Structure 1
């Protein structure tokens, strides 16, 4: 089981308040017979999934109770992420009130409901920023918008959304799209936003460093807490934050952490060629030479397999997962622009599948959306580590600026 999404975890006071708000929202909409949508917002690591998993367990328990207001309800939990789905289905096997067949990919749910000519009562959607907003015949989705289809097939929908975790054009969302959907279907709407970082045990200065880099393209000076020839930064309170000049030395330090703490992996932005052809494709940075992750046919997630310390994880592998330590290679698409700023070179981003154009004209300037997707991927990767994050930039000018400007 993956502890970070166990449905019986204790909630913080803020999470508990949001949990109760959502539960009451579900109850009132079912009672009044109104269609409802609840949007749960929050940055990576703020505990959105923890609330959803506990909510779903509570709903499924109440569905079996004779005197419950949720008695007999037909509920589903959806996630458009195959690795996370493995975790949820595995967790379900450890709780008597949960059924594995209620945890589905969105397309499976949509097609299943249509085939059976049924509807659901309450549908919970984790990582809704991964829902398709474009038809995808390869994945058997023939409609235009997965959230819209789920709303049609449900009485109440609760979904997690983070604009900064949108990673593909065909799943590009903006709040305007969601607002339009709510108006067209005249549904009762409510929302909450989680703001406290729960994953990273880091001081605010480090979280601000990541946010300034991925939101403002700004390189904040590094407070050097431990002098070393190999990296900038070091232990700050209980969090280990380091910027490495050498990718291989970063990887070896990560291996030490993995030997001591486990669940430590190296990841990279999609700036290095990788094709799903059954062959290994490598990321090369100086003396560093390691293959990308392979398609994972196992029921065990990539992040939980011991031998994946010898591979590089992608954004699609680790999104939504907690790691004790994460080492992030930021590739050629990120360049130093001078004056403490970075610039994005879209042409260097190898994941062209992410940039396939939508049929709609509801996205802003394409170059801006592509840049946003690259920055989103960086933000997600940099926020995987509970105990620490190590960073290597392909562009050495970035390291040199940080070295010259830091104390």
Structure 2
């Protein structure tokens, strides 16, 4: 369940190297920044497993209890309960630990760190205590997901405490998208629409993400239940604008809309952070505290009166938050001394909350707003975003579902998470498919004539992508064989490439062809390597390649880089950029 793609693997390898440094070269701190769905938790869970197998003392830490409990549940059966439970800790667990008593501490959701929790008996600052305790500390952080008044986790705070303890500080960034159908465009659009920051993302026509405003909370609930019954994990969430009455009275209803004959409860108290894992939670509503750091296929979001739109301007109303919500605890006191700063901070918390809720869906988001003008605003913005002549993401989704229902009436529906090959004559416009290039064919005549995306259309076989990915022009798949890149690409992996990438290629993993080279794995002119280029620039700005190095990235001995110089370097054909692994070979 914790598969990594390209830059996740790079961060994974970086942490392993830094953890080794932490054993002998002094205290190490790595700060990993990444937005929603970039794989922060995926990398952390893979590191937890790998470092444990290397007999290092390691803990996975989150300030929020929900991710810890969900990941504990997913590891049930892989090791004894006492062992894996001891691997998961809260962020306030290190106030009395001895310095360097742990090898590695992996801090997920580091933006949710606080100075000191209400349950701590000692300690001065959680970030300080974590860095002091571990030889190597890794902080996964996203400033845009700070959603409570007490959240103090920041790059600046981490760097301050790291310097105070003489640690070596390093930075890394995660960018590749798992969530929102792998699209940064939706998240950028969300920032624009919520008026968090000004972006140029107004168009969602080419982004395969289901986004819809529904007419009532009843319709929202029914759509989410329907999605969940179709084996797609879907849940309802809401802004914390309704008191948690059912916490003390199990017969009470928390969120009610009498005019719509709608009444539901917040998630059950005894489910704690395992809300998403419980089948009965489809009949409940989650909040930011139970879903942050987690994901589902489809999310239904109720936007409450704490966020409204007036004359096109998005306005936060912190006073509309429920009295039982402690996210803004401290706001009123701060407002007495510095009203401007307090209002700005509360405004960011409200907007960040809805940004986080609306980005929990891998494949889609349904929205209902309690305020009519706000409802119209979101409906109009979504309609404008999907107004291109091409079919919208919603129409594509409906077409695909209709086709799937007809084709799979015998209940033999293929696994949506597994890539599969189909003949080109069976490909339909509704298929989420890309060309598949056979390695041997590509090493012969195909690569000689490979000039761009138009060559891909002649592939005899196509590959239906897992639901995690969306097909688009220029993407193609190929199986990569050999051990010369096994640090990133295991031998035999089915890989995703993008044809004729633009921009600087240096440092990127590229699929290239040259008639005079011999790949160390297949002895052919086609190879996948890390591309490095040295250029000679002439007085009038013209340039040519002086040397191109096709570098191996392997754990095995006996592999040498391929070096091309002069005119030979200029004859190299770059066919595509490696984007990630679709399927690894079974061991």
Alignment match, 1:349 = 321
More moved, 319-328 vs 285-294: 285-294
Q: State whether residues 107 and 141 of structure 1, in contact with CA within 8 Å, keep that contact through their aligned partners in structure 2.
A: no
How far the C-alpha of 1:100 sits from its partner, in A, is 2.8
More moved, 76-85 vs 275-284: 275-284
Q: Which of residues 234, 240, 254 is equivalent to 2:210?
A: 240
Structure whose residues are more often helix by fraction: 1
User: Between Structure 1 and Structure 2, whose CA radius of gyration is higher?
Assistant: 2
Q: State whether residues 31 and 155 of structure 2, in contact with CA within 8 Å, keep that contact through their aligned partners in structure 1.
A: no
Alignment match, 1:56 = 48
Q: State whether residues 63 and 91 of structure 2, in contact with CA within 8 Å, keep that contact through their aligned partners in structure 1.
A: yes
More moved, 162-171 vs 281-290: 281-290
Superposed CA deviations along residues 186-226 of structure 1, whole A, max 9, x for unmatched, are 2101111112221221655433321223453789998798x
Instruction: Give the Cα separation in 1 of the matches to 2:49 and 2:28.
Output: 20
Instruction: Give the Cα separation in 2 of the matches to 1:331 and 1:148.
Output: 37
Instruction: Give the Cα separation in 2 of the matches to 1:363 and 1:60.
Output: 48
| Matches for 1:257-268 after TM superposition, within 5 Å | 257-268=227-238
Q: State whether residues 217 and 343 of structure 1, in contact with CA within 8 Å, keep that contact through their aligned partners in structure 2.
A: no
Q: Is 1:309–2:282 an aligned residue pair? A: yes
Q: Is 1:95–2:66 an aligned residue pair? A: no
TM-score by length of 2: 0.58
| Matches for 1:232-381 after TM superposition, within 5 Å | 238-274=208-244, 276-279=247-250, 280-285=252-257, 286-287=259-260, 288-297=262-271, 301-338=274-311, 340-350=312-322, 352-357=325-330, 365-381=341-357
Alignment match, 1:85 = 68
Instruction: Give the Cα separation in 1 of the matches to 2:340 and 2:129.
Output: 24
Superposed CA deviations along residues 234-256 of structure 1, whole A, max 9, x for unmatched, are xx764321012322112111111
Instruction: Give the Cα separation in 2 of the matches to 1:104 and 1:45.
Output: 22
How far the C-alpha of 1:164 sits from its partner, in A, is 1.3
| Number of residue-to-residue matches in the alignment | 373
TM-score by length of 1: 0.82
Instruction: Give the Cα separation in 1 of the matches to 2:194 and 2:380.
Output: 21
Which segments of 5 or more consecutive residues in structure 2 lack a partner in the other structure?
388-587
More moved, 347-356 vs 52-61: 347-356
Which segments of 5 or more consecutive residues in structure 1 lack a partner in the other structure?
64-72, 226-235
Q: Which of residues 6, 16, 19 is equivalent to 2:12?
A: 19
Instruction: Give the Cα separation in 2 of the matches to 1:306 and 1:128.
Output: 29
Instruction: Give the Cα separation in 1 of the matches to 2:73 and 2:352.
Output: 28
Given the superposition, is the C-alpha separation of residues 218 and 331 from structure 1 closer, same or farther in structure 2, using an over 3 Å criterion? farther
Given the superposition, is the C-alpha separation of residues 93 and 289 from structure 1 closer, same or farther in structure 2, using an over 3 Å criterion? closer
Specify which structure has the bigger relative contact order, considering alpha-carbon pairs within 8 angstroms and separated by 6 or more residues: 1
Q: Is 1:157–2:137 an aligned residue pair? A: yes
Q: Is 1:128–2:110 an aligned residue pair? A: yes
Alignment match, 1:385 = 361
Given the superposition, is the C-alpha separation of residues 86 and 55 from structure 1 closer, same or farther in structure 2, using an over 3 Å criterion? same
How far the C-alpha of 1:331 sits from its partner, in A, is 0.5
Given the superposition, is the C-alpha separation of residues 205 and 167 from structure 1 closer, same or farther in structure 2, using an over 3 Å criterion? closer
How far the C-alpha of 1:153 sits from its partner, in A, is 1.3
Given the superposition, is the C-alpha separation of residues 262 and 243 from structure 1 closer, same or farther in structure 2, using an over 3 Å criterion? same
Given the superposition, is the C-alpha separation of residues 241 and 50 from structure 1 closer, same or farther in structure 2, using an over 3 Å criterion? same
Q: State whether residues 186 and 207 of structure 2, in contact with CA within 8 Å, keep that contact through their aligned partners in structure 1.
A: no
Alignment match, 1:175 = 155
Superposed CA deviations along residues 280-332 of structure 1, whole A, max 9, x for unmatched, are 4421244132111121347x811121111111101111111111110000110
SS in 1 for 2:293: coil
Instruction: Give the Cα separation in 1 of the matches to 2:378 and 2:75.
Output: 46
Instruction: Give the Cα separation in 1 of the matches to 2:264 and 2:211.
Output: 22
How far the C-alpha of 1:403 sits from its partner, in A, is 4.5
